């Protein structure tokens, strides 16, 4: 049986950007039985459900994705305490080694890359508004995602810390940015991306050049040891 190690509420609710119609998103990490991980049949790496919206990743899979700098997965380890719904001792250990997953190149590439994707969606939506039932709403949403990614990416890159829950002024500014871009101010979006790109120079920031894989490996091995039950093996 899978064991949830860490889970919490993420997304717009966590950022303080939720609107009345926003979904509540949950993200978590689970451990599969070690005998299953070592067996012939592949373990399901992710379990995704809707109503409620939830994504759960197996510990080894999650660690691999996190080493790639994925912003959505990174935020799980930096949530305010009140947003965690499950925290086991191994989950606490995972939060404790969160810095081991970080390195400057992957953080820079991931946050800027995800922001560029949002800018691409904005431009595509504005060029083909007929394809969307609510083009202004879609553009505003992408613009908010873009601004939030750039804000948090710069913070993580330059300080080594990530503030998931935005302060009121920042949240208000991001909503205003979304409305402005939805009104057609794409130059503002491109300018913000260029500004943050310059604020995250290659070789800058405080993050190490490579992640500390040995600490990540130690955590994974503790997970496997904790979920090893020899009697699960049948003759």
Per-residue pLDDT of 29-64, as tens digits, reads: 999 999 999 988 889 999 999 878 899 999 999 999
Q: Annotate 80-144 with three-state secondary structure.
A: CHHHEEEECHHHHHHHHCHHHHCCHHHHHHHHHHHHHHHHHHHHHHHHCHHHCCCHHHHHHHHHH
* Measured distance CA(209)–CA(51) in Å, rounded: 40
* Measured distance CA(138)–CA(144) in Å, rounded: 10
3-101+211-232: which CATH topology?
Beta Polymerase; domain 2 (3.30.460)
Residues 93/219, Cβ–Cβ less than 8 Å? yes
Residue owning tokens 């949002």: 118
What's the confidence (pLDDT) of residue 235? 46
Cβ atoms < 10 Å from Cβ of 16? 17
> pLDDT tens string for the chain (235 positions)?
789 999 999 999 999 998 888 889 999 999 999 999 998 888 999 999 987 889 999 999 999 999 999 999 999 999 999 999 999 999 999 999 999 999 999 999 999 999 999 999 998 888 876 555 567 888 999 999 999 999 999 999 999 999 999 999 999 999 999 999 998 888 999 999 999 999 999 888 899 999 999 999 999 999 999 999 876 545 4
The model's pTM is 0.91
Q: What are the C-alpha distances in Å from 32 to residues 70, 150, 221, 224?
A: 22, 34, 13, 9
Domain boundaries, the chain: 3-101+211-232, 104-199
């Amino acid at each position: 049986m899978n064991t949830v190690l860490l889970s919490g509420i993420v997304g717009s609710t966590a950022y303080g950007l939720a609107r009345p119609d926003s979904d509540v998103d949950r993200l978590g990490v689970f451990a599969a039985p070690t005998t299953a991980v070592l067996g012939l049949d592949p373990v399901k790496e992710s379990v995704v459900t809707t109503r409620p919206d939830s994504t759960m990743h197996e510990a080894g899979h999650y660690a691999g994705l996190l080493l790639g700098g994925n912003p959505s997965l990174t935020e799980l380890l930096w949530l305010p305490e009140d947003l965690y719904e499950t925290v086991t001792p191994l989950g606490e250990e995972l939060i404790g080694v969160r810095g081991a997953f970080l390195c400057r190149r992957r953080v820079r590439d991931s946050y800027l890359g995800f922001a560029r994707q949002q800018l691409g969606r904005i431009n595509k939506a504005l060029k083909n508004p007929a394809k969307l039932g609510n083009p202004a709403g879609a553009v505003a949403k992408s613009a908010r995602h873009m601004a939030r990614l750039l804000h948090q990416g710069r913070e993580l890159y330059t300080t080594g810390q990530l503030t998931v829950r935005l302060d009121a002024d920042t949240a208000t500014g991001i909503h205003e940015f979304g409305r402005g871009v939805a009104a057609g101010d794409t130059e503002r979006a491109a300018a913000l991306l260029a500004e943050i790109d310059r604020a995250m120079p290659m070789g800058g920031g405080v993050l190490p050049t490579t992640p500390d894989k040995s600490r990540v490996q130690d955590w994974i091995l503790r997970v496997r040891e904790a979920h090893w039950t020899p009697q699960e093996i049948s003759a």
